[in-house]
């Protein structure tokens, strides 16, 4: 290493800019492992954390590798003299998930950082998705400076699209919870029978409030088997299904803790884990051994779809991806197919017919007292058609039993916050996606049925303000 970048000289070697705090933390930790072998200094500049240790490292460590988020890096440039002088000698600038850094509101901050960097540096853009538009944007940002593009899907991950089974389901919002419950339990059962190990699952949702409510409900649904005096005939729920939640409005300390817990989760000995997350988990994060990525509603664009599903099918392994969409979102499927270069079919296991069967069963089961599931085993006594699929019936019985005991756990004001956050989310997509606002409202109004909540009354002028109509 060049002696000029010693502690006394404070000359920066590599600056790595990441779009999210989680990705920056992961990159920092991996950089430290590498740096320890060569006695290099690694410094992190990540927002939401205690800044004093970070600034202390600027004084005491070599500036070989700096890893951070745009806002915190720019703030440090503006107030820390040592750092401002050091970046003037930068050797290499790395933009991780470059398409997100250069094609969002982060671009302005990144441009400001670049203005402090020397012209004779090397530039590296890293991403799994490089569109022609992004390449043009990068030319405008870097001018005549040489830019090296690094495809993050190289090597084994180049076959990511082929190694993942991409499918979608047309499903109303009021059927999300029973269907997610069925999908998770049947998948866990399948993997337990195959290798006696549990599984890991990621559920992407549109907003932070949706993540909170969905994780809360699923945590209650997926608790350990109820305690019964009789020996249960319905051992359909494996032990220890952990449910985590992470989103951008959580304190950074809590986000780091959840990220580490799910990433390092030991799925041996019949244990499984689910994380409900917003797009803070979609970019570059390494969650090993994820079996299935489930997306609730369309993502912001096709690139984001690919980044989300890229959390499974990693390191040469196969994976599954299921996209839950309402009928008004179906046009997004064609966009995905064009982007990934393959047909995206309806899910063949959880079909529209199966969802209809679930709905019919739930209507019948919910008309009876919330007995323990073994007391619901006799189809004829409970008015159920004996020809109903046994697996669907089994899971729906358990679902009804659990739902009756969590019905009042979500407050009306929390539901309203989720409801309006979803309206805002789809309003933000409307210009690009050209969705019908009336159909959006009709679809999202079904979210309250699980809790027996009436949807908030939306006055026409208020709806118009959401969708600019």
Would residue 227 count as lying in a domain? yes
100/92: higher pLDDT: 92
Residue 231 within a domain = yes
Model confidence at 189, pLDDT cuts 50, 70, 90, reads confident
Say if residue 81 is in the same domain as residue 229. no
User: 134 with 263, same domain?
Assistant: no
Bigger pLDDT: 292 vs 467:
292
Residues 312, 407, single domain; the answer is yes
What's the chain's average pLDDT?
82
Q: Is residue 13 part of a domain?
A: yes
CA distance 298 to 205: 9
Q: Which two tokens stand for residue 195?
A: 């290798």
In a domain, 460, yes or no: no
Domain closes at, from 152, 168, 188: 152
Q: Are residues 57 and 131 in the same domain?
A: yes
Specify whether 411 is located in the same domain as 384.
yes
Last residue of a domain, one of 152, 179, 199: 152
Task: Answer yes or no: are the C-beta atoms of 213 and 414 closer than 8 Å.
Answer: yes
The partner residues of 320 in beta bridges, in order of sequence, read 165, 292
Same domain (yes/no): 80, 169: no
Which has more confidence, 112 or 285? Answer: 112
Q: Is residue 357 part of a domain?
A: yes
Residue 456 is predicted with a pLDDT of 67
Task: Please provide the DSSP assignment of 251-291 as one string.
Answer: -HHHHHHHHHHHHT----TT-EEEEEE-GGGSSS---TTEE
Q: In this structure, are 144 and 235 located in the same domain?
A: no
Q: How far is 454 from 456, CA to CA, in rounded Å?
A: 6
Per-residue pLDDT at 387: 43
Q: Are 292 and 165 in contact (CB under 8 A)?
A: no
Are 270 and 376 part of one and the same domain? yes
For residue 413, which of 371, 458, 453, 375 has the smallest C-alpha distance? 453
In the chain, the number of structural domains is 2
Check residue 282 and give its pLDDT.
78
Residue 159's pLDDT band (cuts 50, 70, 90): low
Q: Is the pLDDT of residue 233 over 60?
A: no
pLDDT tens-digit map of 214-225: 999 999 898 765
At residue 312, the 3 state secondary structure works out as coil
Q: Is 276 part of a structural domain of the chain?
A: yes
**Which sign does the torsion angle of CA 449, 451, 452, 454 carry?**
negative
Which of 94, 119, 152 is the endpoint of a domain? 152
Residue 124 pairs with which residues in a beta bridge?
94, 148
How much is the pTM? 0.76
Do residues 277 and 407 share a domain?
Answer: yes
Provide the domain limits for residue 387: 157-451
Q: Give the phi and the psi of residue 98 in degrees, each rounded to 5.
A: -60, -35
Which long-range contacts (C-beta less than 8 Å, at least 24 apart) are formed by 129-136?
129/99, 129/303, 129/306, 129/307, 130/98, 130/99, 131/99, 131/303, 133/103, 134/98, 134/99, 134/102, 134/103
Same domain, 166 and 139: no
pLDDT given for residue 383 in this prediction = 46
Contact partners, residue 427, CB within 8 Å, separation at least 6:
437, 466, 467, 468
Looking up tokens 């079919």 gives 345
* pLDDT reported for residue 66: 97
Q: What is the CATH number of the domain that holds 431?
A: 3.40.50.300
Query: pLDDT tier at 231 (50, 70, 90 boundaries)?
Result: very low
* Rounded Cα distance, 27 and 420, in Å: 35
Higher local confidence (pLDDT), 113 or 97 = 113
Asked if 177 and 276 count as a contact pair (C-beta separation under 8 A), the reply is no
Q: 144 and 163 share a domain?
A: no
Which pLDDT band holds residue 105 (cuts at 50, 70, 90)? confident
* Cα separations in angstroms, 301 against 138, 192, 205, 453: 19, 35, 14, 31
- Looking at the fold, whether 232 and 322 belong to one and the same domain comes out as yes
């Amino acid at each position: 290493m060049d002696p000029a970048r010693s502690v006394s000289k404070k000359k920066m070697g590599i600056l790595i800019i990441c779009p999210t705090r989680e990705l920056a933390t992961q990159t920092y930790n991996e950089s430290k492992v590498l740096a320890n072998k060569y006695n290099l200094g690694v410094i992190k500049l990540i927002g939401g954390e205690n800044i004093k240790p970070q600034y202390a490292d600027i004084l005491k460590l070599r500036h070989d590798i700096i890893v951070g988020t745009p806002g915190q890096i720019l703030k440090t440039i503006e107030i820390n003299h040592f750092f401002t002088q050091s970046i003037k000698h930068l050797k290499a600038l790395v933009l991780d998930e470059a398409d997100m850094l250069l094609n969002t509101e982060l671009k302005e901050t990144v441009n400001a950082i670049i203005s402090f960097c020397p012209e004779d540096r090397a530039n590296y853009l890293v991403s799994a998705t490089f569109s022609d538009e992004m390449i043009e944007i990068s030319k405008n940002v870097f001018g005549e400076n040489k830019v090296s593009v690094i495809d993050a899907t190289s090597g084994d991950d180049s076959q990511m699209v082929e190694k993942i089974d991409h499918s979608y389901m047309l499903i109303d919002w009021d059927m999300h919870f029973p269907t997610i419950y069925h999908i998770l339990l049947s998948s866990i059962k399948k993997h337990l029978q195959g290798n006696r190990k549990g599984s890991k699952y990621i559920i992407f949702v549109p907003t932070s409030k949706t993540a909170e409510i969905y994780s809360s409900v699923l945590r209650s649904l997926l608790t350990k088997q109820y305690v019964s005096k009789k020996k249960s005939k319905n051992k359909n729920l494996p032990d220890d299904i952990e449910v985590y939640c992470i989103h951008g409005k959580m304190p950074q300390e809590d986000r780091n803790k959840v990220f580490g817990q799910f990433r390092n989760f030991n799925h041996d000995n019949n244990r499984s884990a689910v994380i409900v997350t917003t797009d803070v988990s979609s970019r570059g994060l390494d969650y090993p051994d994820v079996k299935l990525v489930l997306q609730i509603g369309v993502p912001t664009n096709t690139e984001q779809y690919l980044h989300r599903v890229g959390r499974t099918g990693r390191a040469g392994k196969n994976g599954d991806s299921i996209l839950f969409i309402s009928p008004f979102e179906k046009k997004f499927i064609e966009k995905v197919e064009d982007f990934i270069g393959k047909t995206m079919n309806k899910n063949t296991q959880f079909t529209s017919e199966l969802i209809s069967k679930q709905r019919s069963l739930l209507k019948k089961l919910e008309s009876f007292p919330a007995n323990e599931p073994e007391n619901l085993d006799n189809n004829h006594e409970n008015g159920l058609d004996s020809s109903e699929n046994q697996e669907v019936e089994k899971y729906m019985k358990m679902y009804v039993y659990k739902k009756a005991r969590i019905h009042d756990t979500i407050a009306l004001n929390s539901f309203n916050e989720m409801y309006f956050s979803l309206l805002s989310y789809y309003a933000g997509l409307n210009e690009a996606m050209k969705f019908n606002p009336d159909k959006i409202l009709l679809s999202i109004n079904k979210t309250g049925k699980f809790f027996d909540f009436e949807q908030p009354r939306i006055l026409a002028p208020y709806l118009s303000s959401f969708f600019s109509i």
